[in-house]
Amino acid sequence: MKILANDGISASGIQKLEEAGYQVILTKVAQEQLANYIQEKEISILLVRSATKVKKDILEACPGLRLIGRAGVGLDNIDTAYAAQKKIKVINTPSASSRSVAELVLAHLFTGVRHLQKANREMPLEGESHFKQLKKAFVGRELYGKTLGIIGFGNIGREVAKLALGIGMNVIANDLSLLDKAEETLPIALAFPDGQHLTLQITLTSKEDLLQQADFISIHVPSQKDYVIGAPEFELMKKTAGLINTARGGVVDEEALDKALRAHKLAFAALDVFKEEPHPPIKLLMNPDISLSPHIGGATEEAQERIGLELAQQIIATFGNQN
């Protein structure tokens, strides 16, 4: 069977698939040429990340497709409902990149409280002539003892909680599926490299209470029809709060975020995802109070290895050894 890894796959994933008799093609095919390429090359399995869109037009034009694999968590770039109608299996890797995304959240959080995004912009320009002034301007805050509110408490949200607990933060969480349950707390197990384990309790709360209590807020929800955070939510948040979105572009009202920052209703924000990727609005890119990254939450060597192997294992489990 032929596999087109249109957005790439790790070397270990390729090796595992080829050892099982699959042909892996790494050609990067443009979106407008994808359907024709799949047909001409008789591709049975299509692997994508977030860049390639697999909507109804592709699925309709490619009756030979048997499986679509998403190297990551979200499936909003794939028409899963229509794929099910066409009996095309869709798989993803929901936990393989959780640790990597969580570490990026903490990186952005440290960046925000220590003004590193501003310092890195100002030092090349003013560092030589105004060093002492910059030193006074960039007095920061510690994270120890502060409260992190996590909206969306799936695999990634829980990894963020573990890291935050590890540096001495208080953690509260909001997740609609969990709030339907009777429990008000949720146990989180922390595992350490030396084999030790520790279980701590996370308080579950309403979205409104979380927004009012949290010193910092991190979002970990799938793509939504409506904003999770917009102008009304910014009014509830502390003026000293920071907001981090590594989930999906469009879950935060970017216009309202920009206005809230410029009106000092929010201390800082961090964005790894944008509504109009790959062309985020220039006013967000130029806002000095936003720490920015180009959708790199899962872009670590370790995560890509895990993703590639997990996709390969699922494919082989579905279609068997082809040798």
Q: Provide the annotated active-site residues.
A: 248, 277, 295
Q: CA–CA separation, 50 vs 27, rounded Å? A: 16
Token pair for 273: 């995802």
Q: CA–CA separation, 53 vs 65, rounded Å? A: 15
Name beta bridge partners: 188.
200
Neighbours of 178 (CB within 10 A): 14
Q: Where are the alpha helices (DSSP H) in 127-206?
A: 131-137, 155-166, 176-179
For the chain, strand residue ranges (E) read: 2-5, 23-25, 45-48, 67-70, 89-92, 147-151, 170-174, 185-191, 197-204, 216-219, 242-245, 268-271, 290-292
Q: CA–CA separation, 281 vs 66, rounded Å? A: 37
Query: Cα angle vertex 266, ends 260, 271, to 5°?
Result: 85
User: Could you tell me the CA-to-CA distances from 215 to 2, 70, 74, 143, 295 in Å, in that order?
Assistant: 50, 34, 27, 9, 24
User: Could you tell me the CA-to-CA distances from 117 to 124, 147, 244, 298, 309 in Å, in that order?
Assistant: 12, 22, 14, 21, 35
Q: Which residue type does 76 have? A: D
